[in-house]
Structure 1
Amino acid sequence: MNRNNLVLHAKASIERGSKSFARASKLFSRQTRERAWLLYYWCRACDDLADGQDHGQGMSEIANPEKTIAAMRMMTARAQGGEQTGNPPFDAYGVVAQECGIPKKLADDMIDGFALDARGWRPETEDDLLQYCYHVAGAVGCMMAIVMGVSARNHEVLDRACDLGLAFQLANIARDVTEDAEAGRCYLPRDWLAAADIDPEKIMAPERRDALIALINQLCDMAGEYEASARVGAASLTFRSRWAVLAAAGIYGDIAREIKRSDGASLDRRIFTSKGQKLGWIVKAFGQALLNSTRHDRQGLWTRARAV
């Protein structure tokens, strides 16, 4: 499949899988937008393979998760090396990796997150949680920064890009506590649960609902801290990329803010941002991108390990 057709497939994938990201991506220049779609296409495909889903819907049990992860690694490595895999999402990754010089380690780091899920891993500590968030989202933030023109050696900016991925994933975890529990998963650290007197195997117990809501709110507060840090990195981007990133940060950040405002309703219904909220952030982010004066110290925040 040629590049143009891969872009069309990637566009359809992001429009189906994430209306928030699809809307924000329209603010990029054409070249960056297409590359962002190609990267998303691969990320979405890996996520769906790992969870037995179709664009994040209908989670099902994978018969041989280790074999699935191994195949994912093999196809990604082939695509990274410039080979045609015959699998469009992986060929899409190969195109964007070659065009932008995405380091193989970042792709490997993302797949490592799916490997953790495949073996039923659960975080013991907050540091474990953030390490997991790095694998499944922070590494993607770093790749997106490179797609937007940031050098793979500009670790200061990549750390801020990683922070945005962490913020997104923390919001996801806060939103999906009930869905994850129904699938036998829990991403709340065991030491948090112990301190809140919540049985890790019975986190949805009605008598501990208030304690669980407090932990969800803690996740939302953390998401806000990493979102604020990520906004600083946007200052290093071109105007259109900065606008898109700030819009995405606001749109996705509103998910965490809505969860906290819902006072536990997120346990009973899925929280989402409205079309009006999304459009509002696109307008607001335009002004923020023009000002380009955000400052936020990263001191005390979790930081990824650097390969170089």
Structure 2
Amino acid sequence: MTARELDAAGVHGDALRAAYARCRRINARGGATYFLATRLLTARQRPAVHALYGFARYADDIVDDLDADADAAERARALDDLDTTVRRALATGHSDHPVLAALADTAARYAIEPTHFTDFMHSMRMDLHITEYPTLRALRVYTHGSAAVIGLQLLPVLGTVVPREQAAPHAASLGVAFQLTNFLRDVGEDLDRGRVYLPLDLLAAHGVDRSLLTWCRATGHTDHRVRAALREMIHITRGIYRHAAAGIPMLDGVSRPCVRTAFILYEAILRRIEAVDCAVIDHRAIVPRRHRAGIALGGLASIVAGRVRGSAVPAGRGAAEEGVPA
């Protein structure tokens, strides 16, 4: 976290600045696409986004990356402890925890609804004992807490030019679309963790079950039935992207290039999956770094063009709040 960003955000105090810096490092290490897009936000906004991502990643790591020997009960206890600490931090607006200090500060600054974090923790607990979802409707219960609420948490930080409740459904859809894209990209890795995030009824309609997916993972061969199921899931995900896209013009002008860039980068993963004919069981479909950088530069160009027109930075914002990546 650069001092310039923290100063622009009005973050003071060594401990709190250190917490924000730690969240930024978590973001940079764990979410390349997400981190790249955040570089297009204003300096004032970036610390809050890093705090929200840092918390989400921290909780997710308890589920997936806690000591390999830890059993479900130990992970559940760790999540319970985290949930208690989060509730206390949100209620008081501060925390001594090295990650939650930044989260509590961000939630207080932007008046983020506490239930969004409660719903998120519920979905984290689901990952401890649910390994598959019978229908898309059942999966959406999970993705509400694990993804939709992320979009809702971010919305106050991004700002809107319409009443927030009007933009909220689209922000929620963006979070879900991103997560479904990750499920499609990571289907093989999720299998290794014993999880199937693709709806079982959708898979069964194409003659696919867990044993076939496991065989594909083991052999490196993506069966034609699996490809067909993945194509249908891509079609469903694209519909959610379309609903999400309608919300981008509702955002504050300074936030649109970032969100549009993230939208394009994640949607490009779907196109990459299609480009390899959905053969993603034994490896990830990754958008080449050069392509990602080109999209990000396009987002930066739109910011610069907006400034030339005098529209990208609302009147009254100083240079410390501008969105040029440091």
Shorter-normalised TM-score: what interval? 0.7 to 0.9
Q: TM-score, normalised by structure 2?
A: 0.80
1:140 maps to: 150
**Structure 1 residues 152 and 41: alpha-carbon distance in aligned structure 2, compared to 1, 3 A threshold:** farther
Shift of residue 201 of structure 1? 4.4
Q: Aligned to 1:204, what secondary structure does the other structure show? A: helix
Q: Are residues 1:214 and 2:233 paired? A: no
2:6 maps to: none
1:300 maps to: none
**What is the identity, as a one-letter code, of the residue corresponding to 2:98?**
P
**Contact residue 66 and residue 75 of structure 2 kept, 8 A:** no
Q: Percent identity?
A: 24
1:76 maps to: 86
Q: How does 1:29-108 map to 2 (within 5 A)?
A: 29-52=42-65, 62-82=72-92, 84-108=94-118
**Structure 1 residues 30 and 162: alpha-carbon distance in aligned structure 2, compared to 1, 3 A threshold:** same
Pick aligned residue for 1:196 from 206, 225, 238: 206
**What is the identity, as a one-letter code, of the residue corresponding to 1:183?**
R
**Contact residue 222 and residue 281 of structure 2 kept, 8 A:** no
1:304 maps to: none
**Structure 1 residues 59 and 186: alpha-carbon distance in aligned structure 2, compared to 1, 3 A threshold:** farther
Shift of residue 151 of structure 1? 9.8
Q: How does 1:115-130 map to 2 (within 5 A)?
A: 115-130=125-140
**Contact residue 222 and residue 280 of structure 2 kept, 8 A:** no
**What is the identity, as a one-letter code, of the residue corresponding to 2:15?**
N
**Contact residue 160 and residue 252 of structure 2 kept, 8 A:** no
**What is the identity, as a one-letter code, of the residue corresponding to 2:179?**
Q
Pick aligned residue for 2:252 from 201, 216, 238: 238
Shift of residue 208 of structure 1? 7.7
Q: Aligned to 1:30, what secondary structure does the other structure show? A: coil
**Structure 1 residues 156 and 147: alpha-carbon distance in aligned structure 2, compared to 1, 3 A threshold:** same
**What is the identity, as a one-letter code, of the residue corresponding to 1:173?**
F
Render the CA deviation track for 1:241-295: whole Å, top value 9, x for unaligned. Answer: 111000011111111221122113311222212222212222444677889xxxx
Shift of residue 165 of structure 1? 0.6
**Structure 1 residues 218 and 284: alpha-carbon distance in aligned structure 2, compared to 1, 3 A threshold:** farther
Q: Aligned to 1:240, what secondary structure does the other structure show? A: coil
Gaps of at least 5 residues in structure 2 are 1-13, 307-326
**What is the identity, as a one-letter code, of the residue corresponding to 2:116?**
L
**Structure 1 residues 250 and 106: alpha-carbon distance in aligned structure 2, compared to 1, 3 A threshold:** same
Pick aligned residue for 1:10 from 9, 23, 31: 23
Which of the pair has more CA radius of gyration? 2
- Two-structure CA RMSD over aligned residues (Å): 2.6
Higher RCO, 1 vs 2 (CA within 8 Å, ≥6 residues apart):
2
**Contact residue 20 and residue 99 of structure 2 kept, 8 A:** no
Shift of residue 62 of structure 1? 4.5
Shift of residue 210 of structure 1? 1.3
1:175 maps to: 185
**Contact residue 51 and residue 61 of structure 1 kept, 8 A:** no
Corresponding residue pairs, total: 288
Shift of residue 32 of structure 1? 0.9
